[in-house]
Amino acid sequence: MEFQGGEPLLAFGRVRQIVEWVVERNVVEQRDIQFVITTTLHHLTEEILNFAEQNRIQFSTSLDGPAPLHNANRPTPSRDSYERTVKGIQWVRERLGHDSVSALTTLTSRSLEQPEAIIDEYVSQGFSSISLRPLSPYGFASKSAHRLDYPIERYLTFYKKALAYLLHINQQGSYLSESYTSLLLKNILTPFSSGYVDLRSPAGAGTAALVYNYDGYVYPSDEARMLLEMGEDGLRLGTVKQPLSELLASPVLNALLSSGVAEGLPGCSDCALVPYCGADPVEHYARQADPIGHRVFSSFCKKNTGLLKYLFGLLCDGDDNVQRVLLSWLNRRSYNDVRFPGYRG
């Protein structure tokens, strides 16, 4: 169960109430539940940390790179967004443990000029994973697209430079995996799905996740909820008052599922990479006003085919050092602990 915003810590009383309800009900239900709060960490208090410790709550934050970049991407009136976020990371780790906080980076246009600096920041802050995700077409980001957005081809150029640097620093002894790469590697190299919603076929929106918004409406994914910021409410499944069976039988979810099997979509059905990809009808609805969309113009397809082809090239080029790093990400082991047939070290 993940709490998102805005800023959830500004409504901590409501977060506390929901967690307490869930914990009480779970005495009977006996589910394996993990609570996560997605936050800037700017509004942490001792009360919040005490409650998080009692209920095994983890935190997820955003760290876009070194101070000048982070502050430019996430401006605050006090111009200290980076300093407050880093202070919050350190405070959570001191109280709850090193792995109790994770971070994501959002790549704006200015970010694409600084792959090494972004990665170095994550190393210096002691993270073991970085997510180099492109800007999404939703919510606030869509309103600022003229300043922040970029063509997917530019992102792919950035990704290749960033991955080359990540491979280098891992070989030098600093473990830092790229999370989306790790998901793709699991799809490629194992018989098991990564489970990541955007890479599922049939689509994971609505079946692997439900989002309950503050207004009482229920959505099939966080991306569908964020379309509200663009004036689009066509992907509502129903309301919080409806039982799960009604939400899963809604016309909206039926439409998403009918367009959410990649193996049956035009442009995907005959693609060699379809076993490793997904359909993501919500993104295609957001960008093309059609949950199927036209794959030739799909940023989702351009991104995934570009990344998959590049990873297959790295896996097949015979460089043992590169392959050892990629396998270490898949197995969450250090570079020096990976051995495989043909290794000559």
Tell me phi and psi for residue 50, to 5 degrees.
Answer: -60, -45
Quote the CA–CA distance of 257 and 220 in Å, as a whole number.
Answer: 11
Quote the CA–CA distance of 133 and 123 in Å, as a whole number.
Answer: 17
From 154, 157, 284, 285, select the one nearest 232 (Cα to Cα). Answer: 285
- pLDDT, residue 338, reads 64
Beta bridge partners of 129: 177
Tokens 């060699």: give the residue. 272
Cα angle 19, 20, 24 (rounded to 5 degrees) comes to 115
Tokens 């918004």: give the residue. 213
Alpha helices in the chain (DSSP H): 12-29, 46-54, 67-73, 81-96, 115-124, 139-143, 145-148, 152-171, 179-189, 222-226, 244-248, 251-258, 281-288, 299-316, 320-331
Could you report the average pLDDT of every consecutive run of 10 residues in the chain (345 residues)? 94 97 97 97 97 97 97 94 98 97 94 97 97 75 58 95 97 95 94 88 92 92 82 87 95 93 94 93 88 91 96 92 93 68 47
- pLDDT, residue 5, reads 85
- pLDDT, residue 343, reads 45
- Sign of the C-alpha dihedral computed for residues 324, 326, 330 and 332 taken in this order: positive
- pLDDT, residue 143, reads 52
3-class secondary structure, 323: helix
From 186, 214, 212, select the one nearest 200 (Cα to Cα). Answer: 186
Contact criterion met (CB below 8 Å) for 335 and 324? yes
Q: What is the DSSP string of 59-123?
A: EEEE--SSHHHHHHHS--TTS-HHHHHHHHHHHHHHHH-GGGEEEEEEE-TGGGG-HHHHHHHHH
Quote the CA–CA distance of 189 and 312 in Å, as a whole number.
Answer: 10
Q: What is the pTM of this model?
A: 0.91
Domains of the chain plus CATH, in order, are 1-106 (3.80.30.10), 211-307 (no CATH)
- pLDDT, residue 144, reads 54
How far is C-alpha 153 from the geometric centre of its chain's CA atoms? 20
Residue 251 CA neighbour count, 13 Å, CB half:
1
Residue 319 CA neighbour count, 13 Å, CB half:
14
